Amino acid sequence: MLLVDLAGKQGDLAQVFGIWSQYQQAIEEDEAWPNISTVFQDEWPAIADRIGKQPVEELIYSTGELVDLLPAHPGLDGVEAELARVDDPQERYSRFAKFLDDYVDPLRYDIVLIDLPGHSDNITYNGLWAAGNVIAPVEMGTFEEGQAQQLRTDIGAMRETLSADMELTMVVPSMVDMRTRLAREYLNTFQDEFSETIAPRHIPKSQDIRTAADRGHTVFRKDSPSDTAERARSAFIANAEALIERLKPSVIQA
């Protein structure tokens, strides 16, 4: 599986997998080129040609946790402006999809998971277009409910105006603290509001998840997880299995 971080230059995924300082050093020494921002540029095909066989392998890091990572890069800041200059909307929104088709598909990952910014900009639209299936982790709150509804509206609008083949595939209630009445109420609201797409299990709030991320690995690497962490892990796995079921028609098509 390949993770692609398009969610801002702060490089959250590189931090979670403990490779941020290594990557930052590469950035400082001008060695992190090409990178995720390069693949959005007009010149990318020419750059890739010059690199030769499998140009994307240079961009990908292993994490030690069964997934590879294409990390975020500060250059993503400039990509937004670059995309805004592309007149044709189809061309503007489909650059990343084209990159995946031409350069990542040959690497034969079974799943490509793209982390997107929490707001709607041209990079987000590129990610949505390329993904087709969208997963939205949401905290239990009014603000987050509004965000999830906005995402659903955006996806509907893109389907209509650009005939883009994409759908909201799974809404995952996250960081849920079932000890509070408010969280339980919100969970019910989300279950009603997103009845078609809600994940089978919610992810409990767990300090172990946060601590693991601070230490540069995920909660799956934790040796003696707390009960809550254990429940979070089994919820993650159950949701992943449900997700694979939901993806099946398109996977079989492909």
Ligand X SMILES: Nc1ncnc2c1ncn2[C@@H]1O[C@H](COP(=O)(O)OP(=O)(O)OP(=O)(O)O)[C@@H](O)[C@H]1O
- Residue window 10-49: x/- pattern of binding to Mg ion, with contact defined by CB under 5 A: --x-------------------------------------
Q: Which residue has the tokens 């172990």?
A: 208
Residue 229, class by beta-carbon neighbours within 10 Å (0-12 exposed, 13-18 middle, 19+ buried)?
A: buried
Distance, in Å, from the CA atom of 36 to the CA atom of 90, rounded to the nearest integer, reads 20
> Coil, strand or helix: which one is 3?
strand
> Which does residue 146 touch among ligand X, Mg ion, none (CB within 5 to 8 A, set by kind)?
none
| C-beta closer to Mg ion: residue 7 or 138 | 7
| C-beta closer to ligand X: residue 184 or 210 | 210
| C-beta closer to ligand X: residue 92 or 222 | 222
Distance, in Å, from the CA atom of 97 to the CA atom of 101, rounded to the nearest integer, reads 6
Counting DSSP H helices and E strands in the chain, the numbers are 10, 6
59 touching Mg ion, by CB under 5 A? no
> Which does residue 95 touch among ligand X, Mg ion, none (CB within 5 to 8 A, set by kind)?
none
Residue 242 · residue 229 · CB < 8 Å: no
State in angstroms the smallest separation of the CB of 206 from ligand X.
4
| C-beta closer to ligand X: residue 133 or 174 | 174
Residues contacting residue 169 through CB under 8 Å, at least 6 positions apart: 133, 134, 135, 197, 243, 246, 247
> Which does residue 94 touch among Mg ion, ligand X, none (CB within 5 to 8 A, set by kind)?
none
State in angstroms the smallest separation of the CB of 233 from ligand X.
11
| C-beta closer to ligand X: residue 58 or 214 | 214
| C-beta closer to ligand X: residue 82 or 115 | 115
> Which does residue 209 touch among ligand X, Mg ion, none (CB within 5 to 8 A, set by kind)?
ligand X
> Which does residue 203 touch among Mg ion, ligand X, none (CB within 5 to 8 A, set by kind)?
ligand X
79 touching Mg ion, by CB under 5 A? no
State in angstroms the smallest separation of the CB of 7 from ligand X.
5
Interface residues with ligand X (CB under 6 A) are 7, 12, 118, 174-175, 203, 205-206, 209-210, 213, 232
Size of the site for Mg ion (CB under 5 A): 2
Q: E-strand spans in the chain?
A: 2-5, 61-62, 68-70, 112-115, 133-139, 167-174
Tell me which H or E stretch contains 47: helix 44-51
7 touching Mg ion, by CB under 5 A? yes
Residue 134, class by beta-carbon neighbours within 10 Å (0-12 exposed, 13-18 middle, 19+ buried)?
A: buried
